[in-house]
Structure 1
Amino acid sequence: MSSGTLYLIPAPLGDSNLDNILPADVRKIANRIEHWIVEHPKTARAFLKLYEPARQIAGLQMSELNEHTKDNELATLLAPLQAGHDVGLMSEAGCPGVADPGAKLARLAHTQGIRVAPLVGPSSILLALMASGASGQRFRFHGYLPVEAGPRLEKLRELERDSTKLDEAQLFIETPYRNEAMLDAALQACKPNTWLTIARDLTTDDELVISQALSRWKNQPRPELKKRPAMFVLYAGK
């Protein structure tokens, strides 16, 4: 029996109109898959209900893969694929495998000769970079920066130095309730002519992308950032 295909299924980044962010073929594939690997079943079921409201979601088979999953548990997640079933991998991060524990499962699937098929959908990392005006030739995504004030300031200075030296865009995120503190830290740590982009609520009706030098951030009213998902792009290149 041939193995099934591991489909990497994109998830909405917020309360988005799916017609605007997901191709019809992606939704068609997702709506026929019965076996799923997800970070959180509750939110995954809510996502799938958006894909096809009339579908009976309760009967879908769902296994969990998240930051608590041990490496020696990954092989069992491939069992439905080895039995010939197609499986959907869905991430809370938007695109599975990018800044996401699904990357390890995709790598293991390749070692087993299982087809891994990425499907088109929104990536907050790429969308923020696209809109920032920063260099798209070189960029790094750092995830979360240190929470403590001192280490965070030093990390921001390090990112600024690397951006200048390598002409590289530096991307990172913050827990939404600390977004304003992150902006304050960037203003304190970095030079006035360094560029900072904040991309908030991407793909939703409340989407806002502001990209400008830190000197301008310092001297104008701030957008609403508290408890709003955002991506930060720091750029001090050419």
Structure 2
Amino acid sequence: MPGILYLIPNTLGQEAGQSNPLAAIIPSEVQAITARLDYFVAENAKTTRAFLKLINAEQPLAKPLQEISIAELNVNTAATALPALLAPILAGKDAGLVSEAGVPAVADPGANLVRLAHEHGIQVRPLVGPSSLLLAVMSSGLNGQSFAFNGYLPTDTEQRSKRIKGLELRSRQEQQTQLFIETPYRNSALLEALTTACQPTTLICVATDLTLPSESIKTQTAARWKAALSAGNSPDFHKKPTVFLLLGQ
């Protein structure tokens, strides 16, 4: 009988000197399930080991960390490698799928493994934890009844502007909140592009370092963002994970 594939949420980050953040964001039952597993498929083995060390501080691991198997699944993993990752589960071993941050299989290559697990009749169990996308929608004040995640926008200036205008038009016509993310060191460039491409009345939310002590969430019109940037009042989001949202008015 196949094992179970648990979808295990990770933290969204940890600041230097911060005490163990798990108690506030990862339920104890999720920690307990994680602690008893000895096989993980992870986006990044190094960050997963760091996560398991945090788990161990709250819930002792069933095996020493060096005896726990962590197989990597990231954007460079070929589709032909997925069956080998699934093989231990098909042989009866329970496993945990872990993203580098937040919940797995959402804006995450782990979705391919989950789909294959379903094809093989493996039970998939999603566990409760922080999703930066849902937290951003919750806290933005924008439409939570209809929203769409669009991943990364083009880096080319002209293509990015065209994409933003298209998302803004759709948002205005359907009253649908549009979400997207950016490589953290490009946050400033993206916010400037939004204030340039969007209509002055379009609402823009910038949600940074969600669940961390440095968390910052602010929603205002494109016009107000543009004025703030012109005055040198840019958000403190350089190299910090940020979710951007817009709603056309």
Q: How many residues align?
A: 236
Equivalent residues in 2 for 1:39-78, closer than 5 Å: 39-53=43-57, 55=61, 56-78=64-86
Name the SS for the 1:52 alignment partner. Answer: helix
Q: Is 1:186 aligned to residue 190 of structure 2?
A: no
State whether residues 153 and 163 of structure 2, in contact with CA within 8 Å, keep that contact through their aligned partners in structure 1.
Answer: yes
Q: Could you list the per-position Cα deviations for residues 23-56 of structure 1 after superposition, in whole angstroms to 9, with x for gaps in the alignment?
A: 1000000000000101111111011111113643
Given the alignment, which residue of 224, 234, 245 partners 1:216?
A: 224
Cα deviation, residue 219, structure 1? 2.4
Label 1:158 to 1:93 Cα distance change in 2 as closer, same or farther (>3 A): farther
Distance 2:121 2:152 in 1: 34
State whether residues 152 and 180 of structure 2, in contact with CA within 8 Å, keep that contact through their aligned partners in structure 1.
Answer: yes
What residue number does 1:8 align with?
Answer: 7
Distance 1:173 1:182 in 2: 9
Distance 2:221 2:70 in 1: 45
State whether residues 93 and 99 of structure 1, in contact with CA within 8 Å, keep that contact through their aligned partners in structure 2.
Answer: no
Cα deviation, residue 70, structure 1? 1.4
Name the SS for the 1:134 alignment partner. Answer: coil
Distance 1:32 1:219 in 2: 52
State whether residues 93 and 100 of structure 1, in contact with CA within 8 Å, keep that contact through their aligned partners in structure 2.
Answer: no
| Structure 2 residues without counterparts, runs of 5 or longer | 15-19
Distance 1:113 1:225 in 2: 43
Distance 2:54 2:101 in 1: 17
Residue identity in the other structure for 1:130: M
Aligned-pair identity (%): 47
Which is further off, 173-182 or 13-22? Answer: 13-22
Residue identity in the other structure for 2:32: K
Given the alignment, which residue of 1, 18, 24 partners 1:20?
A: 24
Q: Is 1:33 aligned to residue 45 of structure 2?
A: no
Moved over 4 A (4+): none
Cα deviation, residue 93, structure 1? 4.0
Name the SS for the 2:236 alignment partner. Answer: coil
Distance 1:79 1:149 in 2: 44
| Structure 1 residues without counterparts, runs of 5 or longer | none
Q: Is 1:128 aligned to residue 136 of structure 2?
A: yes
Cα deviation, residue 100, structure 1? 1.0
Distance 1:32 1:148 in 2: 46
Q: Could you list the per-position Cα deviations for residues 59-105 of structure 1 after superposition, in whole angstroms to 9, with x for gaps in the alignment?
A: 10111111111112111111111121100000124111111111111
Residue identity in the other structure for 2:182: E
Question: TM-score normalized by structure 2?
Answer: 0.92
Equivalent residues in 2 for 1:219-230, closer than 5 Å: 219-220=227-228, 221-230=233-242
What residue number does 1:235 align with?
Answer: 247
Question: TM-score normalized by structure 1?
Answer: 0.96
Give the aligned CA root-mean-square deviation in angstroms.
1.2
Name the SS for the 1:58 alignment partner. Answer: helix
